[in-house]
Every structure is written in structure tokens, then in C-alpha cells.
A and B are shown apart, each in its own frame.
Chain A
């Protein structure tokens, strides 16, 4: 069965520092992987997605993620954190064919200190 594990329910970084949010997946077939961001009282917004093309995926707001099959990882990074990056981030894997069944990780709340 497919699953997603996000390491660290809370991550705190200083403004300007590197952001690294960890995600490991389990999938018996080549996965489609996603990172979403959720701001308070809002829905989810797609940051980026991996669909078996390039292993390094660039997303919005300066985020990127690298798919590493050998490590079953899809960590999200941003070189320099901004105060506006404070939010909850979800890693997700899409399973099945002919329709969506997205499995989300538990989420990582990112805090950015001034």
C-alpha cells in the first residue's frame, strides 16, 4: 500500500536560512508525488509535482524538490526562507489509475523567525 511519511511535525528556521522539509514515500509502483502548502483558514495550494519526468522539480515561490528513488524520498527545499513561507506543508502521493486517490502525509508546520 502506498503511504507518505513526513519527518518532523514542526520545523523552525530563521529568515534567510535554508528550508528543508522531509518526505519519504512507500509505493509499489512508480509514484506521482506532490507538495502542497496550506495557509491558515485556507485550502491547499500545489507547490510542485513529480510525474516521472525530471527528478529535480521546481515549483512556485522558489521551492524545489528532488525525487530520489534509491532513498524513496521527495524532500522539499528553499534556499532562503521568507516570513511569508510560514504555513503547513503536505507531501502527498497519488495512487491508482483512472482517478484520483491522493494519500497525504501528516503535514509539517514551518515557522520562520525574524
Chain B
């Protein structure tokens, strides 16, 4: 069974540009999460989808970040416009149940120059 997959694995963009990260959860997992680790900091929660609905987006840093999960399958996280402090690794995770074990992807590394 395929795990959580994320694309791209690494993206290098200039400040002010737009980047879209994609996450494909494990098939059948209604719960999808985004986390990120910016340089030197701890892994932080961004938001949680249940199917296509945003259950909790309390961790989203500002309105430059937009997450979507149309159809309740894969999710995208768009950063527009990107700033230097957005550099870091963005992790996606999914779980079968709300209270279940989270399965993480390998992460998408974002470098903003």
C-alpha cells in the first residue's frame, strides 16, 4: 500500500513568487494534516482536513497560505507570495480516524531566496 506522498520534494523559488505543494494521503484516509518545520524551529501544526472540510486551521501563519482539498482526496498548499521566512520543510500526514496514528510523508523542502 502506498504511503503519504508529497510533491515536489524540493522547491527553490524567489521571494514574491508562488509555490504549490501537493499531498496525496493514504487511500481511504479522511483525515489530512499539514505541518511544517522552519529553520531551527520545532515541527508545527498548520491545519487539519476531514474529507474536504477544514476542521482546524489554527496553525496557518497568515493569509499568504491557502490549503485546499477539493473532492476530499489530495490536498494542495499554496504560498503566495512567498517570503524568506517561509523556507522550511512542509510535512503532510493522514490518518484513518481523527484520533488515530498519523502517517507522515517525506516532506517538501521549500527554499525561498
Mutual binders A and B: no
